[in-house]
Structure 1
Amino acid sequence: MSLNLPVRRAVRSATALTGSQRSPFLLPYLQRRTLFNFGITGWGSGRSQQLDQVVKPKNPLTEEYLRKKATPKGGSLVRGDLASSSIFEDEETAGPKPKSKGAGAPLQRNPETMAAALDPNPKARMRWERKMVIREIRKRGRLTRAQQIKRQERELLSKSHDFKTSVKKLVPLAHQIVGKTLEEAIVQMRFSKKKAAKDVKEHLEHAKNEAIVRRGMALGKVQGQEFTPRNIQTKDKKTVKVDDPTRLYIDQAWVGRGLYGKSLDIRARGRVFILKHPTTSISVILKEEKTRIRQHEERQTKIKNRKVWMQLPNRPVTAQRQFYSW
């Protein structure tokens, strides 16, 4: 049987055979396929045994890691110890964390770094302050009615994310919660049979937390100030009893159409339509009961100052003639 080798490879093979050490890479390999020999992954004396005889290179990083690796005392795992396959093994190898200098010591802050967030545009801030000073001088410190209300009363506008429902289905829920206290609106959404009521309830709870944290609303009566419970009439002619002037209620609620999701609708005769899945968001404005008390008093004052209607008012008769004008 002749060997099919190039001339150079044959010379190198001969040179290697004459030497003291024989390299297995230069020897020809004849593969025999039997029942117990499947080439590289066979069970018999295949090529896998020849690959295993070659010395594998060592990884210095692995050796260094194993050398630094903490080994348990006694050569076996101890109760509460970490196994070799634990994800927290690196923390044990690195050792305990350095102790802080002082637990109660205040953190040193850099004013220049804080100014990047607190005062990002100093020139614009100075222009705005100058504008406000000029406006204050011109108006002599007098505030408009809207500015006085803004300073005395709090409110919060909260918009939800897009729900997977349509405007037609969400509008009745928005009408249902308008004018109600926040707790009553949450109860209504909890026992509602509508599918979107669950999302509306979660948004109302989120809006309540946001009003307490960001606006300081619904914190209870101020200490030292007495408040007598009273019955007021809302703008939709409903009577409400107010025990806490800081109780939250929903002043306005409306819905807004969001983006449409699209999907394929496979029809007969090879036709494909596109389905549009609507999304809708709901926005609410939360206010405190002191706002409804002020509105109730203003309506009562307007009714009290209304003049009595008279069929024949007492005024002088002028421009009267004794004959017709035509």
Structure 2
Amino acid sequence: MSSTGGEAGSTALAKAKKAHSEHRYRTASFKISPRKLNLLSRQVAGKPIDQAILQMEFSDKRAAGRIKSMLCTARDHAAVKGIRRERMVVSESWVNKVDALPRVDIKGRSRTGIKHHRYSRMHVVLKEGPTKEETLLKQRKKALKRALVSAGVVREDVPIRNPRPQWAW
């Protein structure tokens, strides 16, 4: 019986030591249009986590503070999972709609309509990726390689296509 308990303990220990390659996190649903939240989502996607937090800190949008705190919490949780903070990148970011609450829109002459109070939530996936310096170095190498390539060989023995019947001037 003690051997079974030992195996279960070792399996739990193995699961705890397993390295995580990514960390998913999301905000709670809050009152904001998905279109507006998607602008912030696209702003942080693909950036290193510290740069994404900095973007949210200086953003004038109302939801930026909530997104910033979500990114800080996600960064800390990912660090506990074993993802290195200096290599942490927001690899994916997307927005989901939550059911909109219908409300009465009072108009003139005894008429009414329906307003939709929209709610949404934002998801992020944090992974280890290249640092900013590595990305810059890769871009410089690519630009240098593109600059060194010649324009190609000019072939002068090819006949003229669609020759005109008259003089060209």
Same fold (TM over 0.5): yes
In structure 2, the residue matched to 1:262 is 102
In structure 2, the residue matched to 1:278 is 118
In structure 2, the residue matched to 1:310 is 152
Displacement of 1:204 in angstroms is 0.6
Percent sequence identity over aligned pairs: 27
1:261 maps to a residue whose letter is L
**Aligned equivalents of 1:283, 1:183: Cα separation in 2:** 17
Displacement of 1:272 in angstroms is 5.5
In structure 2, the residue matched to 1:111 is 5
**SS state at 2:59 partner:** coil
**Aligned equivalents of 2:64, 2:139: Cα separation in 1:** 35
Displacement of 1:212 in angstroms is 0.6
In structure 1, the residue matched to 2:80 is 213
**Aligned equivalents of 1:214, 1:207: Cα separation in 2:** 11
- Aligned residue among 183, 204, 209 for 2:71: 204
Q: 1:144-203 deviations in whole A, cap 9, x for unaligned?
A: xxxxxxxxx944343333221012211222233334432333233234332111221121
> Please, what is the CA RMSD of the aligned residues?
4.2
Q: 1:103-122 deviations in whole A, cap 9, x for unaligned?
A: xxxxx99739x59x97xxxx
Q: Which has the higher contact order (CA 8 A, sep 6+)?
A: 2
Q: 1:191-241 deviations in whole A, cap 9, x for unaligned?
A: 4332111221121112101211124321xxxxxxxxxxxxxxxxxxxxxxx
User: Would the alpha carbon gap of residues 191 and 265 (structure 1) be closer, same or farther in structure 2, given more than 3 Å must change?
Assistant: same
Correspondence list, 1:88-99, <5 A: none
**Aligned equivalents of 2:121, 2:30: Cα separation in 1:** 6
Correspondence list, 1:36-75, <5 A: none
1:300 maps to a residue whose letter is K
**Aligned equivalents of 1:185, 1:307: Cα separation in 2:** 35
Q: Is the 1:263–1:276 contact (alpha carbons within 8 Å) kept by the matching residues of 2?
A: yes
Displacement of 1:278 in angstroms is 1.2
**Aligned equivalents of 2:53, 2:135: Cα separation in 1:** 25
In structure 2, the residue matched to 1:185 is 52
**Aligned equivalents of 1:252, 1:186: Cα separation in 2:** 15
Q: Is the 1:170–1:196 contact (alpha carbons within 8 Å) kept by the matching residues of 2?
A: yes
Q: TM-score, length-normalised on structure 1?
A: 0.35
1:310 maps to a residue whose letter is G
Q: Give 5+ residue unaligned stretches, structure 1.
A: 1-107, 119-152, 219-245
**Aligned equivalents of 2:131, 2:68: Cα separation in 1:** 24
User: Would the alpha carbon gap of residues 312 and 268 (structure 1) be closer, same or farther in structure 2, given more than 3 Å must change?
Assistant: closer
Q: Give 5+ residue unaligned stretches, structure 2.
A: 13-19, 164-169
**Aligned equivalents of 2:135, 2:21: Cα separation in 1:** 13
Correspondence list, 1:72-87, <5 A: none
- Aligned residue among 74, 77, 93 for 1:253: 93
**Aligned equivalents of 2:61, 2:123: Cα separation in 1:** 18
In structure 2, the residue matched to 1:102 is none
Structure whose alpha-carbon radius of gyration is higher: 1
**SS state at 2:130 partner:** helix
Q: Is the 1:154–1:217 contact (alpha carbons within 8 Å) kept by the matching residues of 2?
A: no
Q: Which one has a larger percent strand, Structure 1 or Structure 2? A: 2
In structure 1, the residue matched to 2:17 is none
User: Would the alpha carbon gap of residues 296 and 162 (structure 1) be closer, same or farther in structure 2, given more than 3 Å must change?
Assistant: farther
